Amino acid sequence: MKTDGRFLVTVVIACSIILETPPAASKHVGGIINESQQNFVFVSRFVFQPDEYGELVFTFVYPLSQCCYQLLIFNDHVTQWPYIRQHEDTLSCIEKRSLLDGSYKTTVNLSEASHCKINTHNEQELFCFGKQTFEHADERWWYLTVANCDGKGIHSLRFNINMTNGRRALDKQFSADERYILETDAVFLGIYCITCVALCHFKNQLRRRRLLHNTYQLFAWSCYIQTLSIFLQVVALMEYATNGIGLPNLKIIGEVVSSCSSVIFVLLLILVAKGYTVTRLVSKRMKRLYLNRFHL
């Protein structure tokens, strides 16, 4: 039975890790696009904070022989990105591009000096560096895509994109829907630290009185592990606030640790439901009388 119980706990932990571990994401994205079969590729999305200075900084490098690409920026209006998602298989690249109004901010030609700073490297590669600003009265999702509607696919396109909100150093790297996550986690970290100190104090009091039960220790360990999880995530978010990339691996470790804390707490609830805490304190004198009565 002990082996079966350990196996069950192992399975629960593994499932929690698989289900709760999110993919690493960042608002500072980069990489290489090689899509010979596609002329329209999604890159990233971001929510710029209303009434603040939102900035998009991008760099694209690609061979001159593959000229010319476009950076298309859609919003979440029903006639733009939602419509593209709904008719993704039927719309052509040109039809998708025609949904934009053609303004400078939504259609960026990556080969024109009026849209970005153009340089050439060894007359073989085209280097495009540019900035865009976003100032709106309400929150809105913006979707960044790269298109080559007049050619065949996208080849050897290297890119680096950084999206920021406002000028506050603490949260400018966060999308509007992610604002105040760092501050909230920091507050909860302080609350959990105070809780852990209180748990240690009462644990020592119970140990002196010989009243320390295993269920209390399980609850204490659940809080300790959850505190460690929040601490790791706060560190990862603080790094994210500085460069927009953060520490994705540390964030994943924090989520895994949080899963372990949840498993321990659920185990505690099961034990309590099964009556594990039902105990009776019997004095030595009463125990001796009980044994003498039944001649044990």
pLDDT at 153: 81
Q: Which pLDDT score is estimated for 8?
A: 39
Q: What pLDDT digit, counting tens, does each position of 16-48 carry?
A: 443 343 333 346 778 888 877 788 889 888 877
Note the pLDDT of residue 50. 67
Secondary structure (DSSP) of 157-198: EEEEEEEEESS-TTTTTS-GGGTTHHHHHHHHHHHHHHHHHH
Res 229: pLDDT: 92
pLDDT score at 6? 44
Helix (H) / strand (E) containing 84: helix 81-86
- Express each pLDDT in 123-167 by its tens digit: 778 888 888 877 766 777 888 898 888 777 888 888 888 887 766
- Is the pTM higher than 0.85? The answer reads no
Look at 245 and 287; give whichever has higher pLDDT: 245
- Residue 172 tokens read as 């400018």
